[in-house]
Amino acid sequence: MKIFLINGPNLNYLGKRQTNIYGYNTLQDIERFMIKKAKRFNVNLECYQSNHEGYIIDIVHRAYYINCNSIIINAGAYSHTSIPILDALTLFNGLIIEVHISNIYNREVFRHTSFISKRANAIISGLGVYGYISALNYLIKS
C-alpha cells in the first residue's frame, strides 16, 4: 500500500508559527512519526510539503499516475481557495482524507469553507497532530 501525505503552505513552520493554535510539534516530527507507524504496517508513506499551489497539483497528479492507494492532505489555506487543487483531486481514484490541525469551523468565517472537502472521503478537523494519526489508522484498516 502506498499513501501520500501532502501538506500545504506554511505547514513547514509548524512548531514555530501560532503555537497557540497549531502546537509545538514540527512537520518533521509529524512526518517522522507517521513514516515509522506506516512501516510497522508495511505501508509506504511518502511525505510532501509545498508553499506553491502548482507543485501540490503536480504531487496529486503523480499519485494518480503511479496508482497510489490514498492521499492524506492538509492543504492549509489552499483548502479555502484552491479550485485547481480540487480539480486535481477529482482525477485521483483512491481514498482522500482531509486533515486540519485546528477546528476550521471554530475560526474565521473564511476558513469555514473547504474546496478539498468536496472530494475528500473523510475530514478530520481540530484533533491537532492526532488528526494525521487518525487518518493513517483509518487508511491502514480500510
22 catalytic? Reply is yes
**Residue 101 assigned ligand-binding role:** yes
Which domains, ranges and CATH numbers included, belong to the chain? 2-141 (3.40.50.9100)
What CA–CA distance (Å, rounded) separates 73 from 138? 14
DSSP labels, 57-117? HHHHHHHHHTT-SEEEEE-GGGGGT-HHHHHHHHH--SEEEEEESS-GGGS-GGGS--SGG
> Residue 112's pLDDT is what?
64
- Rounded to 10 deg, the angle between the 83-91 and 53-65 helix axes is 10
DSSP state of 9: T
DSSP state of 16: T
What CA–CA distance (Å, rounded) separates 132 from 99? 6
The rounded radius of gyration (Å) of the Cα atoms in the chain is: 14
Q: How far is CA 50 from CA 107, 137, 141, in A?
A: 23, 24, 28
Tens-level pLDDT at each residue, the chain (142 residues) = 999 999 999 999 999 987 877 779 999 999 999 999 999 999 999 999 999 999 999 999 999 999 999 999 999 999 999 999 999 999 999 999 999 998 887 877 766 689 999 999 999 999 999 999 999 999 999 8
**Residue 80 assigned ligand-binding role:** yes
**Residue 87 assigned ligand-binding role:** yes
Instruction: Name the pTM for this structure.
Output: 0.94
**Residue 102 assigned ligand-binding role:** yes
Which of 22, 48, 78, 132 is catalytic? The answer is: 22
Which of 52, 61, 64, 100 is catalytic? The answer is: 100
Output the nine-digit C-alpha cell for 136. Answer: 493513517
Output the nine-digit C-alpha cell for 40. Answer: 510497522
